[in-house]
Structure 1
Amino acid sequence: MAEIDQAALEAVQDEITAIAEATEKVELELANKRNELMRPVYEKRREVIAKLPKFWSVVIQNHSELLQVNEATDLPILEYLSDIWVNYDPKDGRNFDITFTFKENPFFTNKELVKRIIFKDDESTSEAVKIDWKEGKDPSKKRKKGDDDEPLESFFSWFDDEDAQLSEIFAEKIFPEAIRQVELNLIFAGEDGDEVVFGEDDEDDEDDGSVDLEDEDDDEEEDEKPAKKKGRK
């Protein structure tokens, strides 16, 4: 096999670099186009899931391990989460905002928490978000039982983190696939205050308080009938 001299190797490397840059450019154009086409779909989805008060809380719970959700301290706060929206830069979808909208709540005063991701110098960075916690309500300030030095894990610690990795996962996977993630496990508060889980056969458990006497009589008659003897073979 003939050896390739250094100049030839460098020329090949330049060609490979050019191909990689062209590929990245096309992938970015495709991503930008996808974001443009999906926006009205997500807007329609937004209208529909607004009817389910706990939708986004359930989505986050479904990723509790990844998002470091603490059930004891985070879930009561997430009950007030009414909307999540990802807004992409139309010219460069690698730049985007994730907006978390909360109803008025006893934990903090912010109506929105906006996580902003900026792509620069071939890497993404995430801006820290200041949460205006009410006194004694910041879960990240609480400590593990029996350990005064180690803070509790909390979903809300992510807002103070400048690492963009989790933000990218949220925008690229959790937000787009939210419907599939929740699917038949949508939970929301029923009129009587009990939790209702969609996807279970609620019709079998319905009881309007009425009694069908004819059905009861039929059942009694069925019970009183003697069992038929099996015929001999």
Structure 2
Amino acid sequence: MSAPAAKVSKKELNSNHDGADETSEKEQQEAIEHIDEVQNEIDRLNEQASEEILKVEQKYNKLRQPFFQKRSELIAKIPNFWVTTFVNHPQVSALLGEEDEEALHYLTRVEVTEFEDIKSGYRIDFYFDENPYFENKVLSKEFHLNESGDPSSKSTEIKWKSGKDLTKRSSQTQNKASRKRQHEEPESFFTWFTDHSDAGADELGEVIKDDIWPNPLQYYLVRIARCC
């Protein structure tokens, strides 16, 4: 018959438990330090990957330019291509009043140019034929990120012809619409050129750059699909 197990005092139990806690805490601290070291390596690789991706994007931006130019030449053969594209786009169309659409019938070309350092920003150019609304042949808006990452924007001053300022007419229309909500017009599309309040969250600029510009034909063809 085996001897009964020796009793372990409560003091000895606590002593052993405290030692285990100390070992556990030490192991955890060492693990945290190792995790931090590994995380630094992951962050370094992520930063390196971002730099490589940027170089590739810059390379292909240059390769795409001749095709963008060819596309613009072909689009020029289609009357009202850009106004149709904008009207068919669900987000852009929500910003267009009737007179905005009339003015955009004179829009002949749109170009998006990303700056050499893609992370620093981009510019959108709108080219217009002679029209009854403004003197400008080109309206542009630029978006910039400075070295500290703060966004800003600037744009062409629109030289409105007498009595044709759609941004002022928009505010007058909205005042009248307060009495007739069912006929309320959206704020003029052209107020976008004067709004620099939140350059870091410019939805219209991002939609044009990232959604419309890569493939405007898909939105132009919506009209044809509806007709057929």
When normalised by structure 1's length, the TM-score is 0.69
**Is 2:200 the partner of 1:174?**
no
CA radius of gyration, larger in: 2
**Does the Cα contact within 8 Å between 1:35 and 1:93 map onto a contact in 2?**
no
> 1:97-116: CA deviations, max 9, x gaps?
21100111111111101111
Question: Aligned residue for 1:17?
Answer: 43
Query: SS state of the match for residue 74, structure 1?
Result: helix
**Is 2:106 the partner of 1:84?**
no
Query: SS state of the match for residue 127, structure 2?
Result: strand
Deviation for aligned residue 1:67: 5.8
**Is 2:156 the partner of 1:129?**
yes
Deviation for aligned residue 1:170: 1.3
Q: Which residue identity is paired with 1:3? A: Q
**Is 2:193 the partner of 1:159?**
yes
> 1:34-74: CA deviations, max 9, x gaps?
21111111111111110112011111112253464323221
**Does the Cα contact within 8 Å between 2:86 and 2:92 map onto a contact in 1?**
no
Matches within 5 A, 1:68-217: 68-92=94-118, 94-120=120-146, 121-122=148-149, 124-141=151-168, 142=170, 143=172, 144=174, 145-147=176-178, 152-162=186-196, 163-164=199-200, 165-166=202-203, 167-183=205-221, 185=223
**Is 2:49 the partner of 1:58?**
no
**Is 2:42 the partner of 1:8?**
no
Higher normalized helix content (fraction of residues): 2
When normalised by structure 2's length, the TM-score is 0.71
Considering only aligned residues, what root-mean-square deviation do their CA atoms show, in Å?
2.8
Structure 1 residue ranges without an equivalent (≥5): 186-196, 202-233
Task: Give identity over the alignment, percent.
Answer: 30
Q: Which of 71, 78, 84 in structure 2 is aligned with 1:45?
A: 71
